[in-house]
Amino acid sequence: MSDQKKLNAVRQFAQRKDYSSLLQRVDTHGGHAGYPKYHYCRHCGTPTEVLTGDSVFDSYSECSQCRGLDQNGWIEDANRHYEGQ
C-alpha cells in the first residue's frame, strides 16, 4: 500500500481514538443472559458490536479499520502517532 494510504489510516485512527474518548462506555459485564452487552475495539475504543449476553459467538475484539492497520503492520505506528500529537 502507498504511504498516503498509511498516513490516511493513521490519521483516521487518531480521529477514532478522539471520538471514543468522548463516549460514555456502557459497563455490561455484570449483565444477565439476554441483556445487551457492548463491545469496544481494543485499539481505538470505538463500539464494535452490541450482542445479547447469551450470544453463541464471541464478539470482535477490534474494529475493521484497526484490524486493517494491524494486518498491514501499522497499528504501532498509529499508536505512536496518536501519543505524539
Residue 41 scores a pLDDT above 80: yes
Q: Is residue 19 part of a domain?
A: no
Q: Is residue 41 part of a domain?
A: yes
C-alpha cell at 64: 475493521
Number of domains within the chain: 1
Q: How much is the mean pLDDT over the chain?
A: 89
Q: Is residue 23 part of a domain?
A: no
Confidence band for 37, pLDDT divided at 50, 70 and 90? confident
pTM of the model: 0.81
Q: Is residue 26 part of a domain?
A: no
Beta strand pairing call for 47-52 and 36-40: antiparallel
- Domain with 63 in it: 3-9+31-83
What is the Cα 84 distance to its own chain's centre?
19
Q: Is residue 40 part of a domain?
A: yes
How many Å apart are CA 81 and CA 38, to the nearest integer? Answer: 27
Q: Is residue 25 part of a domain?
A: no
Q: Is residue 60 part of a domain?
A: yes
Q: Is residue 68 part of a domain?
A: yes
Mean pLDDT for the stretch of residues 39-66: 89
